[in-house]
Amino acid sequence: MKFLFIGDIVGKSGRKAVKTHLENNEYDFIIANVENSAAGFGVTERVYNELKNMGIHAMTAGNHTWDKKETENLIHNWEGFIRPANLGSRVLGKGYNIFNAAGRKICVINLLGRVFMNLSNCPFECFDNIYESLDKDCFIIVDFHGEATSEKIAFGNYVKNRAHVVTGTHTHVQTNDLKLMENTLYLTDAGMCGAYNSILGMEVESIIDKFITNMPHRFKVETKGDILFNGFSFTLSDDNIISDYKLINEVYENIEL
Ligand SMILES: [Fe+2]
Ligand SMILES: [Fe+2]
């Protein structure tokens, strides 16, 4: 069974990179972080359906989950959408979800880091609680949405041999440390899909000006030039052995699709 995890999809350029990569879709199960997929901020119904139609089964989020107002009203309809689990119990939506694919149970969990991020509950304890509640035959994939590499590596070590796959998201810069931590496939950050010449997928000028002046700015997704696809893939055997894992870091021409 072949899996693909796609790093933060940023706006139209990111969606185009995903569509290009999936033209010859050879995967049985696809997970993507979609927190920036609608014009760089959050997700909309239209974008959710567009990504679903591309073949993405599970969509995780992060600190940008609620950027679009319609998310609050529509989140219950988005079957494959998972917002961070370590939020209060009154928060809408679900923090993990169990999918059935190729005769297996796959649990996808989304967690927020707490270092250089807004307030949330402890992601380590949150994982423990979810893990205790799951059937033992679940294949568990965690998207740990965080800023600090140390926190993500600590989390990987904490859950190794319990979660089967742990990947970081949020920084939009792919790290080069995809490896097995004993039986757990681990990556600090999956990177992003978006404009290749950009600052984390956004237009360069306004971000530079923000750093210099700290004045309020409206950031826009960069839509010109080449587009980047970041993620990783792996194969899972019937007896839960992970093999053939590899980083994907492709640059495509920005052709009209
Ligand atoms: Fe992001
Ligand atoms: Fe984020």
Structural domain contains residue 257:
no
Is the pLDDT at 179 greater than 70? The verdict is yes
Domain count, the chain: 1
Structural domain contains residue 7:
yes
pLDDT on residue 60: 98
Is the pLDDT at 240 greater than 90? The verdict is no
Residue 142 to residues 25, 194, 231, 257: CA-CA distances in angstroms? Answer: 23, 22, 14, 32
The parent domain of residue 117 ranges over 2-252
pLDDT on residue 185: 98
**Which ligand ends up closest to the CA of 63?**
2
| CA–CA distance, 104 with 185 (Å, rounded to integer) | 18
Which positions are annotated as active-site residues? 64
CB 147 within 8 A of CB 114: no
Ligand 2 centroid to Cα of residue 7, in Å, is 11
pLDDT on residue 257: 65
For 15-61, what is each residue's pLDDT tens digit? 999 999 999 899 999 999 999 999 999 999 999 999 999 999 999 99
Ligand 2 centroid to Cα of residue 145, in Å, is 6
Ligand 1 centroid to Cα of residue 35, in Å, is 6
> To the nearest whole number, what is the mean pLDDT of the chain?
97
Q: Which two tokens stand for residue 204?
A: 């360069």
For 134-162, what is each residue's pLDDT tens digit? 999 999 999 999 999 999 999 999 999 99
pLDDT on residue 149: 98
CATH number at residue 15: 3.60.21.10
CA neighbor of 34 nearest in space, from 2, 225, 176, 54:
54
| CA–CA distance, 129 with 152 (Å, rounded to integer) | 18
